[in-house]
Structure 1
Amino acid sequence: MYPKVNEVLYIQIDTGDEKEASHVYKSRISEIHDDFIYMEVPLQESTGRLKKLYMGDELSIYFLTEGGVKNFFNSYVLGFHEDVIRMVRIRKPDPEEITKIQRRSFLRVQAELEIAVSYKGGRRFLSNTEDVGGGGVSFYAESDQKLREGELLSCWLLVPYKNGSLEHVPFESEVVRVKKLPNTRSLIMLKFNSIVDMERQKLIRFCFERQFDFRNR
């Protein structure tokens, strides 16, 4: 069962920051089309602030049906439309993707991709990712690569596709969390601060290819 026009959506957003991902925002459906849904810019009720979204942001959404039943689906931001009010275009889920079971798995996939990192003082190093998504990535850092929360990084990813082609995806990012691991390494979790829409779409394409592979194993 699809939600209807004017129905309220309750939204959580994956930015790579666990605290941010716990916030619930409200929006209202403006239009429903064959492949996408237009909704209003989400609002956080506790603060009254509008939440700015970006192309490729990964969303976990639910809407209520009779008896207060929550219906969940995952989506992501496709674009925007300026009308009387600004509207956000999100992917319309397939009917079988709407479930009464909460699934907080965003469009983020485990993948060991090569990442080049440049940070303060012109220091650079190569590493491998732990996961990638439309909103950010996580990668491993050695003990001498001391990164801190809030630090800004310039990076590029080497992204392979099933057809054998390779893409370099550059982006600017912020460290949102540093997780110490049992060995000498740390897991560095990033959110994108600046990434060209075309580059973000390359990552989303990779994630869909990888998810398709996982489903067919």
Structure 2
Amino acid sequence: MFDALKKHLMPGLAAALIPLAAQAGEVTLTGEGSVKYSPDSARLQFTASAEESLPDKASDRVNELMAQWRNSISEYRDQLNDYSDANVNLYTRMVPVQERDQEREQRAVASQTVSFSIDDLALLNPLLAQAQKLGLDYHLGSGSFYHSDENSLEKQALARAIADARSRCEFVASELDMACAEVMTININGGHRPVPMMAEAKSARDVVSSVGDREIQTSVNATFKLD
């Protein structure tokens, strides 16, 4: 009876051991890589706006501001990439009343937006100074600044993550008196950029004193064969 039971169990036991044997010669681990860098470019957007009793007056005021802006940045114009000031907006709004029987006043609001990018951050504060002088609206945040060759930086971080995975595999293999061989599978995780500490222009008296360093981080999950 024992022999019969043994014959019945052996095929199932052997089948159960096959995956374990196959997995015994593999190791799955994570590799991490990062690259620190300083942004060298910026995307900027400024808006000239005016509110008057009549649409023509509001439009004329914005046109005047835009003419002053173009004149003030003429020496930098050929260094502004993808320059556009075609975004014009004109609408009317009703002024809230203070008294219930007060007649509501209608006002015309005109605005025009300028957008461009720069690949020389030395231009940043002179441009901000002109915008502040004319009362143009703008906002600077971490998304305003970037590196002109971030694709290359991301590849560097990925290469370091792969090298880190290989290094960890070699360590594990050496502890097992084995050798780390070819990659069986690899999954690449996306990189991310932590928000840097930076000085932003928040009012007409502020200038950007430091953009701050950033870091691209990435990781890979890899399965290596062990010999």
More strand by share: 1
TM-score where L is the length of structure 2 = 0.20
TM-score where L is the length of structure 1 = 0.21
More helix by share: 2
Larger radius of gyration: 2
**Structure with the greater relative contact order (CA < 8 A, sep ≥ 6): 1 or 2?**
2
